[in-house]
Amino acid sequence: MIDILRHKSYIGAYNRVSRNPYWVAEHLTKDTLDGNIKRKHLKFRENSEIPTKFRSHLNDYVKSGFDRGHLVPAADVATSKSDLAETFLLSNCSPQNVNFNRGYWAAFEKKIRSLTKSYSDVYILTGPLFIPHQEEDGYYVKYKVIGDPPNTAVPTHFFKGTFIF
């Protein structure tokens, strides 16, 4: 079953098996990036729209070595406190390597936001991937699962498609 999650600033589809989004989609304009709401007091939280046994849990990330990586970044919706808070739902997050999340991925997201200086509408589709790798006898999809008991799958890769008009 796929859960379609509709929020004011983005939409997404949730994968109950991996406890990750299949994808999230957002629309950026100069106006949507014009806010200065701070994320200081916001906390990550589980999405109560998803049944407990199928959701990613806060405890999954404790001592896992992975960040709760936003797929729709908080910086993309800083015009409204309620919109900003929706980005802190775990249904908008995937486990990400700390250096990747705070380094390359953050720089990539910043570059995409800068596209609104040249284009009036920027549409973004983001999600996790579980890419097979080759072993001696064939291809396998292998990924780490975090939590105790194991619950949330760690993607092997991520995608971010940008459409500009």
What count of Cα atoms within 13 Å lies in the side-chain half-sphere of residue 139? Answer: 4
70 labelled catalytic: yes
Short-list 125, 123, 44, CA closest to 91: 44
Catalytic residue among 7, 41, 57, 70: 70
Separation of alpha carbons 80 and 10, rounded Å: 13
Which residues, including other chains, have CB under 8 Å from residue 116's CB and lie 6 or more apart?
Answer: 28, 29, 30, 32, 33, 122
Q: Which residues of 120-155 are buried (b: 16+ CB within 10 A; e: fewer)?
A: eebebebbbeeeeeeeeeeeeeeeeebbeeebbbbb
Separation of alpha carbons 33 and 9, rounded Å: 11
CA angle 143/147/149 to nearest 5° reads 105
**What positions carry a catalytic annotation?**
70
